[in-house]
Structure 1
Amino acid sequence: MSRSNSLVMTAGFAEFPKDTSLHEVYRMIGCVMIVDKETETIHDISFTFVMELSNQFLANLLRGVSLRNGLDEVRKRLKESIKVPGVGAIQYAIQQAYDRYCELK
């Protein structure tokens, strides 16, 4: 299988918690994840986040993570490195994208 044929793109979305500034301004967060089916790793990932720096930080944190055993490593990295309002929405959007990836396997 060629490299481009082994890549799949999925997306997930989540609502930010009500009564937060993120919800008032953006309401939702989206996660687009490109997964290499051969290696079962995150090839690239992007978020519809407030600031580009946040998106870059998350992408750098999660790019290359194995999904072979589910989202445990993703959750661990988020817990260790992300302390922002709405982190639950970020996790849920990733979960939704992952679930869609599992449907393609």
Structure 2
Amino acid sequence: MADHAGKKTVLTAGFAQIPKGTSLYEVSTMIGCVLIIDMDHDVICDASFTFVMDKTSEFLVALLIGKSVAGGMQEITQVVQERFLAPGQGAVLQAIRAAVERYHEKKM
């Protein structure tokens, strides 16, 4: 378990629907994304996803930790599109985007 006590962090969440007709939709209709963001540096410290298979979540978390959310979603979108080659990629990006947008709305 990560220790966030020494940092100024917030937890934000976003959700997206999985497209019908994909194998992932048969398991779950929604993807949830939780991000823990260091507010002093606008950097993702930790993350979690609502996938059934742990490896999927672990892989995505490893891609996101250390990524900046200061300038929007460009860096995150690029790395997910290049390295997460699975059904539901768009839904994953939408869930992350929703969490990042919620963070920016509350930070202002």
Aligning the two structures, in what range does the TM-score lie when normalised by the shorter sequence? over 0.9
Q: CA deviation at 1:19?
A: 1.2
Task: Report the Cα distance in structure 2 between the residues aligned to 1:82 and 1:34, rounded to whole angstroms.
Answer: 20
Alignment of 1:23-102 (within 5 A): 23-102=25-104
Deviation at 1:36, TM superposition (A): 0.3
Offset, 1:3: 3.0
* Structure 2 counterpart of 1:72, one-letter code: Q
Q: Could you tell me the percent identity over the aligned residues?
A: 47
Query: How high is the TM-score relative to the length of structure 2?
Result: 0.90
Distance 2:52 2:95 in 1: 15
Structure 1 segments unaligned to the other structure (5+ residues): none
Q: Which runs of 4+ in 1 moved over 6 A?
A: none
1:3 matched to which residue of 2?
6
Where in structure 2 are there 5+ consecutive unaligned residues? Answer: none
Q: Counterpart of 2:87 in 1: which secondary structure? A: coil
TM-score, structure 1 as length reference: 0.93
Distance (Å, rounded) in 2 between the aligned partners of 1:25 and 1:96 = 22
